[in-house]
A = this chain, B = another copy of it.
Amino acid sequence: MKRSFIREILECITTETISFAGGLPDEKLFPHLELKESANNVLNDASSLQYGTSSGLYALREKIAEFYTRDGFETNPSNILITSGSQQALDIIARDNRDKSITIEAPSYLGAMNVFAMNGLTQEAVSLHSDGIAIDAFEKSIISTKLAYLIPDYQNPTGYTYSDSKRDTIARIVEENDAILIEDSPYSELYFEKKYQSISSQIPHSSFHLGSFSKTLSPALRIGWIRAEEKLLDPLIAYKETMDLHTNGLSQSILNDYLRDVSRYDEHLNLLRKIYAKKMQMFKIYLDELLPEFKHSKPKGGMFIYGEIPDVDISILVQKCLDRGVVFVPGEEFYTDGSKNSEIRFNFTHCKTTDIFKGLNIIGKVLKELN
């Protein structure tokens, strides 16, 4: 088992390091005082500290189902399985598909690739373009794999978003081939202009839709979920139970209390969108100014700006930048073959705005020294 570059970096860097590496939310936006109030409400009663059910707290599953329904994707609590973050959701589904094949994007989320590898799945990587996965290659692949893993909204690592027409086409292809789609959507609420309709909502009987509160409220709560039809979801409950009995009950109860005021949560999301859009804009301005060699496209939401610096050995650049106190992730981490390329992923949400300038300025200088 290989550890991820990002996680190992996270454990090594000091508080002084300027990190564009992890997919970390901005701590200043965590609603810690509201969650504190909810923790007080919950801990007035000892019953929230007892064992819970493997599917998750019913009242919380109701609230998550209601979020789908108000978006036009009719959903019941029985369609929701609460997981210890959506990382565990991936592991649960992968376990139920052990040793099969799966079509994924190239590049893709490193944590998913590691989960699939750990569960013996053969990964067929299909090129991802700025409007979504390459359709012909996707269709050719899924005919044999019958299983696909996609991140259509503000993808990790690229920040790309699938066009509406590609969403329609993929839904049709998945259904025509009796395949299953795993649609990972941790960033879908972090849009800058409009919310996209999930592919899963077009094919509810052939999809797992994965969500998370890690990017919108707090990663430390470790609350994610799987939305699926009962026929697909029910076999997963035994895995969940065997893996860790049930998801953290205190977190679930606190979250459930916090979400009693939906309009407050909506306001919080609006604030996140506004601030992250501004941070992205600022990041882009500094990139154009300090690192003009970096060819990239502008994300429509999420947490990442992705691109390349042609003809540069990124592994040397990352090491020299780390020595100077700045870190980012080389693109080769996000490909199954791990072959060298000149791509880079920048996270724009976590850093203080003053550090964005400082960090990109250092990278620009190191790059000049290399050339």
> Which residue numbers of A lie inside 8 Å of B, CB to CB?
1-4, 7, 10-11, 22, 24-25, 27-28, 30, 32-33, 35-36, 39-40, 43-55, 84-85, 87-88, 91, 95, 111, 114-115, 118, 214, 218-222, 235, 237-239, 241-251, 253-254
Contact = CB atoms under 8 A, between A and B. Distances in A.
Nearest to A34: B43
B242 A221 contact: no
B1 A242 contact: yes
Contacts of A10: 51, 53
Contacts of A243: 87-88, 91, 115, 243
B239 A49 contact: no
Residue from A88, A220, A241, A254 with most neighbouring chain B CB atoms (10 Å) = A220
Contact of A3 (B48, B52, B87, B237): B237
Contacts of A53: 7, 10-11
11 contacts: A2-B238, A3-B237, A36-B44, A51-B214, A114-B242, A220-B248, A243-B243, A244-B244, A248-B250, A250-B250, A251-B251
B47 A22 contact: no
B118 A239 contact: yes
Given A114-B241, A250-B251, 19 more contacts: A1-B242, A4-B241, A7-B53, A10-B51, A35-B49, A39-B39, A49-B220, A52-B220, A84-B244, A91-B242, A115-B243, A219-B249, A220-B250, A222-B244, A222-B246, A222-B247, A222-B249, A248-B248, A250-B250
Nearest to A253: B220
A300 B220 CA distance: 38
Contacts of A118: 95, 239, 242
Residue from A47, A52, A54, A241 with most neighbouring chain B CB atoms (10 Å) = A241
Contacts of A245: 7, 85, 87, 111, 219, 222
Contacts of A27: 46-47, 49-50
Contact of A43 (B1, B36, B55): B36
Residue from A40, A48, A238, A248 with most neighbouring chain B CB atoms (10 Å) = A248
A99 to B, nearest CB: 11
Contacts of A237: 3
Contacts of A219: 49-51, 245, 249
Nearest to A35: B43
Which 3 A-B pairs give the minimum distances between C-beta atoms?
A220-B249, A36-B43, A1-B238
